Amino acid sequence: MNLQQLRIIRETIRHGFNLTEAANALFTSQSGVSKHIRDLEEELGVEIFVRRGKRLLGLTDPGKEVAAIVDRMLVDSENLRRVASEYARSDAGTLAIATTHTQARYALPPVIAKFKGRFPGVRLTIHQASPKDMPRILMDSNVDVAIATDTLEQHPGIATFPYLTWEHAVVVPKGHPLEKVEDVKLTTIADYPIITYDEGLTGRTRIDAVFEAAGCNADIAMTALDADVIKEYVTLGLGIGIIASIAYDPKSDTKLTALSTPGLFRTNTSSIAIRKGRMLRSYVYRFIELCSSQLTETVVRGESERPEPDEYEI
């Protein structure tokens, strides 16, 4: 048994049991992948994959247990390298963050500026992605931290920590009739075409839920992936926008007005997440603490090292 065999098992599962794609991901041949799988199965004395001819269709029952162990073993092998690196040099390396456009553009810049001031030798990599992809990215890549709203909680193997609360804001172009309305209600907003986030993005489900609860049929005329695009089309007069409140800055958004809508929308909470069991460099904990002073290394370690329910039951 060797690490290459374990990597092949993991990549085969990640690529939907497609041996060609698994081989490409590992820069090796399909025949080599097949041989490694057979060798490991012979060594273990069980078949890991369900087969139809030469095709792999899924995992056998013992294969499911093998896959879970393989995943843990590979995480631990990564941790071994991190231990050596940590002791060799603790103030240099790479911090990889997966997050949304809204977080990267509006919430994180002050934090990242402070972090780079303290750790100039750390290279920062930001992976922008859809919130629904965050759990997969965190579990299947070398990302240290994921930050998003609504999608990271309740996933096995992921520890989450609330760090930022915010509401949605309604923005209109300067001179819009709603600027003169003192008490803006949902029914009033529903009279106009609305430009907001795509489904599944930045609290969109909460926007829909608020209108549904009020019995309003919102005219969602246009959707986009990020607030900058939404604001641009609102500026053009194509509708009124509903965006994350942190994405509106009166100093820079001079062509827009954010309406006063206290209590109109529900509060959203963005979470910081890490993969349980993965060793983090000391500067990763410092970054998390810069996001929220309450998320000390002790707090984060305690949660990330907490076993899953029944994990050790026999």
The pLDDT value given to residue 309: 47
For 134-150, the pLDDT digits (tens) are 898 998 878 999 998 88
Is pLDDT of 312 > 50?
no
Contacts of 209 (CB under 8 A, 6+ apart): 266
- Domains plus CATH for the chain? 3-84 (1.10.10.10), 90-162+272-304 (3.40.190.10), 168-266 (3.40.190.10)
For 62-103, the pLDDT digits (tens) are 889 888 888 888 887 777 777 666 554 567 788 999 999 889
The pLDDT value given to residue 88: 46
Structure tokens at 308: 């899953």
For 201-246, the pLDDT digits (tens) are 767 888 998 999 988 888 999 999 889 999 999 999 999 999 999 9
% of the chain beyond a pLDDT of 90:
42
Q: Does the global pTM surpass 0.75?
A: no
